[in-house]
Amino acid sequence: MTIIDGKQLAKDIKAELAIKVSSIKAAGGKIPHLAAVLIGDNAASESYVRNKVRSCEQVGFNSTLIRQDESISEDALLEIVDDLNRDDDIDGFIVQLPLPKHINEQKITLAIEPKKDVDGFHPMNFGRMAQGLPSYLPATPYGILQMLERYNIETSGKHCVVIGRSNIVGTPMSILLSRKAKIGNCTVTLAHSRTKDLKAETLRADIIIAAIGRANFVTADMVKEGAVIIDVGINRVEDATKKRGYRLVGDVDFEGVLSKVSHITPVPGGVGPMTVCSLMMNTLKASKGEIF
């Protein structure tokens, strides 16, 4: 049984990116520049964005953080997006989600210039991904592909069950794993809240991608012997023994399934650290004009 060390993998990828940035600098090329827009004071969003900015510094990218109050109007945010679209020094940018309720997230996503959409959320990028054209891949699925590749996990011909059909994780993951690609060629089942007999589906899975957002949802009785488990969940459960009063657990009952699986990602330290690497890799691609 192998525990997939996302933390170490992320460190390795960042070190590789830092080397690439050094050679760009040495050759007098343009330093990749990522901008992040953070609206309001959602604690989780603050921590994610802080991590993105810190990661930029670690690999030698330039970064710009634009913070605005929760009360910003939709028009004012659209203006910020427009400025970033036009700023030649910014290679890529993200608008951290969720946004306040009075702002239409879809409208903001559509306003981002696809060639700067390093989150890969714009329908232009999503559509290109679905058709196997060059595109920015969304961070979490891209990070998972990296994990599968770097741990030499065979995907071709395997049966993969993705649980959860979000636009950010489940749906793109199901498309990517079924594509004709080195990490792909899976037979994919996309399971969701209306799936009739989920256990029957997961018991057939060689690979399970759990992205439901429910603590310890996937239990040992749902897992086939030798399965590969990728746990995307980050759920808070009360824990009085912790100073902050909670601990983080995944969507999978980690301890319960451990003796059955061939590979598993832990929470924390699995998929999470990989997502920011994906964003960095997309930003490097943006600065080199590799996608568009």
Size of the site for ligand GUN (CB under 6 A): 6
Residue 88 annotated among the catalytic residues of the structure: no
- Identify which of 163, 174, 162, 160 has the alpha carbon closest to the alpha carbon of residue 206: 160
Q: Which of residues 98-127 bind ligand GUN (CB under 6 A)?
A: 119
Cα gap 267→252, rounded to integer Å:
9
Residue 231 annotated among the catalytic residues of the structure: no
CB-nearer residue toward ligand GUN: 38 or 177: 38
* Segment lying near ligand GUN (by CB under 6 A), choices 24-32, 62-70, 74-82, 91-99: 91-99
Instruction: Supply the minimum distance, in Å, between the C-beta of residue 165 and ligand GUN.
Output: 16
Residue nearest to ligand GUN (CB): 97
Q: Residue 87, Cα to own-chain centre: how many angstroms?
A: 25
- Identify which of 187, 179, 184 has the alpha carbon closest to the alpha carbon of residue 155: 184
Q: Considering the rule CB under 6 A, would residue 234 count as an interface residue with ligand GUN?
A: no
Dihedral of alpha carbons 266, 267, 268, 273, sign:
positive
Tokens of 99: 């946004």
Q: Considering the rule CB under 6 A, would residue 95 count as an interface residue with ligand GUN?
A: yes
Residue 52 annotated among the catalytic residues of the structure: yes
Instruction: Supply the minimum distance, in Å, between the C-beta of residue 280 and ligand GUN.
Output: 13
- Count, residues in the chain: 292
CB-nearer residue toward ligand GUN: 96 or 125: 96
Q: Considering the rule CB under 6 A, would residue 97 count as an interface residue with ligand GUN?
A: yes
Q: Considering the rule CB under 6 A, would residue 65 count as an interface residue with ligand GUN?
A: no
* Segment lying near ligand GUN (by CB under 6 A), choices 67-75, 94-102, 124-132, 148-156: 94-102
Q: Single out the residue of 55, 96, 155, 265 in contact with ligand GUN (rule: CB under 6 A).
A: 96
Instruction: Supply the minimum distance, in Å, between the C-beta of residue 89 and ligand GUN.
Output: 20
Max Cα distance, the chain (Å): 58
Q: Considering the rule CB under 6 A, would residue 139 count as an interface residue with ligand GUN?
A: yes
Catalytic residue among 119, 206, 251, 253: 119
Q: Considering the rule CB under 6 A, would residue 53 count as an interface residue with ligand GUN?
A: no
Binding site for ligand GUN (CB under 6 A): 94-97, 119, 139
Catalytic residues: 52, 96, 119
